Structure 1
Amino acid sequence: MAIASKIRGSLLGGALGDALGYAVEFDRLPAIRERFGSAGLQDFSQLGGPVDFSDDTQMTLYSADGLNEALAWAREGVRADELACVWLAYLRWLKTQGVTVPESAPQPVPRWLDAQPVMQHQRHPGKACLSGLAGGAMGSVARPVNPDSKGCGTIMRAAPFGLIPQLAPEAVARLSTDAAALTHGHPSALHSSAQFSLLIHGLLLGAPLDEAVSALAGRLQDDPGTPPELRERVLKAIDLARAAERLSPEALTAELGEGWVAEEAFAVALYAVLATAGAADPEQHLREALALAATHDGDSDSTASIAGNIVGALHGDGALPPSWLASVNGIEVVDRIASELAALVGE
């Protein structure tokens, strides 16, 4: 399968999951079931019209746009610092959220993405993402901003770091970790982002799902630097997904958490992908995984967005239901950024 298809599949799949989950992010299960029935939210047709994606997709697009800028410079023979381009992209996102970039920080040059109306909306951006950027200092692993924060605002924007096929796995992990440290400092946030990006990278390069997940489990077990809570949650998700019966939404969050922090969001999303992997075809896999990842008491848009990134990287854009794509406002902006990334990596 062409890598371009997987890049589009991952970014568009993430946007679909985000939009589906965002519709119920702040609802508890009783309210979700009262509105959509006992099975919860299963399809965009239940929402009665086009819906929006959240800050998760906005920041994912800025991750990708920062990489696109660095890759475009490289094509011109100019060496650009990828992390600096990503930081500048996040500062551009900060402006779209109505926050003034501090005078102590660089003043980034506007790009096409900034002018798109769908990027101007404030859709419950994470507090750590805002404060980590608003201080004007470039956070790093050595000098983290928000050192105690492990919110899922890192991992939900990290898929693009796994979507550059030319990068070695070590470079993927380093770039994803460094980008997470721009806003969050807790080891679980940093390691969750790196492991998620590495999973995406493996799928991008053609690894079957079980092989990519086995590699993920091996890294978590073998690396002594892995935070214990990340190792525990993700390995538990893998084990639970092997059971014949899917977890109920109540059991899902009781076992793996509600997804407000990075390792929980990763675990819930990964469980949803693995528990639905026996679906009849790729499109059905995406539908089932996103519905499972979105229908619970927790951070539904982030968990479903991460699940969409994974399924899209696995199956490519052929897994994207056309009716779902037509149901999300601004999906053409996601498609353009994804297609630009695919073109810049030569695919």
Structure 2
Amino acid sequence: MMFDSLAGLSVGDALGQQFPVMRVSVDALRSGTVPGGQWQWTDDTEMACGVVAELCTRGAIDRGRLAVSFARHRSPDRDYGFSTVAVLMRIGKGASWREVSGAAFGNKGSYGNGAAMRVAPLGAAFAGDPETIVAQAIRSAEVTHMHPEGISGAVAVALAAGQAAQARIDGIRPTAEQFLTTVLDHLDDSEVARGIRRARTLLGANVQQVATELGNGSHVSAQDTVPLTLWIAATHLHDYPAAITSCLTADGDIDTTAAIVGGIVTAHTGTDAIPPEWLAAREPLPTWLLQARAAMPRPSRLRRWFTGSRG
């Protein structure tokens, strides 16, 4: 299920990145129109691949290793945020992740949406174990985002993906209200959590109204990104195209909102819910991730979780 989540995340990211220059409407996408050319993914996918590779290799997040992996695999053309670039460049030169992440933004740490955008596959990997999801999501976030809100955003997304995957295992479809409530049950109070509570009161509204109320990622913060994405995922948990096109309609930081939503939804639906033409258009994932996947130990509990097998 971890790899299903990554597929949904990467397609959402790539479509969100390309949509502003596609010269095609949301309605046309819904009807199956796909412009020619390859959809390039961004830092959202590249960093999510780093998280997944670390889990393939270690079965858990080692922050030092993850930091080095992020720095090593950073591609300059993947649209990284300036703060993340600064952090990863210093880590790449040998600085401690703890020092540079904590020093960002006047020693307050970053509350950007970067930790949330990459974490859905982790939540899917540890489905059924919310305590582990919380602990591992925190570790994955701290490498670049030390501010409590940046961490809270990552935890919320990981919990949502874990719940989506668990519902798939159990063969159930939670209501949107149940979905958001379960996330909140395991999330400490924060501005992000308060935004999700607000999202719960907006179920049934249209996505433009919700984006106006909650934000659409335009400020690139966890607080103005995560509540909307959880509202969309909860509303369209069974319908990947509807979920992703809702992100496009909401506008804002589209590649990141679509990455988060895509990672949550495909933890529940599997990759069959992704339109084949969308998946085919997405740029292939990096070879270093495929090598990490091939090296996963067999047999292992994590392999069963990551592939969705219950046997």
TM-score normalised by the shorter chain: which range applies?
0.7 to 0.9
Could you say which residue in structure 2 is the equivalent of 1:346?
303
Alignment of 1:15-94 (within 5 A): 15-24=10-19, 27=20, 35-37=23-25, 39=27, 42=30, 45-71=33-59, 82-84=60-62, 86-94=63-71
The code of the aligned residue for 1:139 comes to R
2:235 corresponds to 1:268: no
2:291 corresponds to 1:329: no
2:252 to 289, 298, 312: 298
Q: Which has the larger radius of gyration?
A: 1
The Cα offsets for residues 156-199 of structure 1, whole Å up to 9 and x where unpaired, read as: 11123213338832222112112211111211111111122122
Q: What is the TM-score of this pair, normalised by structure 2? A: 0.80
The alignment-based identity, stated in percent, is: 24
- For residue 308 of structure 1, report the CA deviation from its aligned partner: 0.4
Please give the root-mean-square deviation of Cα atoms over the aligned residues, in Å.
3.1
Deviation above 4 Å: which 4+ runs of structure 1? Answer: 38-44, 331-335, 337-344
> Contact 1:133 / 1:182 at 8 angstroms: preserved in 2?
no
Gaps in structure 2 of 5+ consecutive residues: 305-311
| Inter-partner Cα distance in structure 1 for 2:201 and 2:287 | 37
2:145 corresponds to 1:184: yes
1:213 to 180, 189, 193: 180
| Inter-partner Cα distance in structure 2 for 1:44 and 1:333 | 29
- For residue 324 of structure 1, report the CA deviation from its aligned partner: 1.2
Q: What is the TM-score of this pair, normalised by structure 1? A: 0.72
Aligned length: 286
Could you say which residue in structure 2 is the equivalent of 1:233?
195
Higher helix share: 2
> Contact 1:13 / 1:312 at 8 angstroms: preserved in 2?
yes
| Inter-partner Cα distance in structure 2 for 1:180 and 1:91 | 14
Could you say which residue in structure 2 is the equivalent of 1:13?
8
1:137 to 87, 91, 96: 96
C-alpha distance 90-122 of structure 1, shift in aligned 2 (>3 A):
farther
C-alpha distance 209-19 of structure 1, shift in aligned 2 (>3 A):
farther
The alignment partner of 2:111 has SS state of coil
The code of the aligned residue for 1:275 comes to T
| Inter-partner Cα distance in structure 2 for 1:342 and 1:55 | 27
Gaps in structure 1 of 5+ consecutive residues: 1-5, 72-81, 98-119
| Inter-partner Cα distance in structure 1 for 2:281 and 2:134 | 34
- For residue 7 of structure 1, report the CA deviation from its aligned partner: 2.5
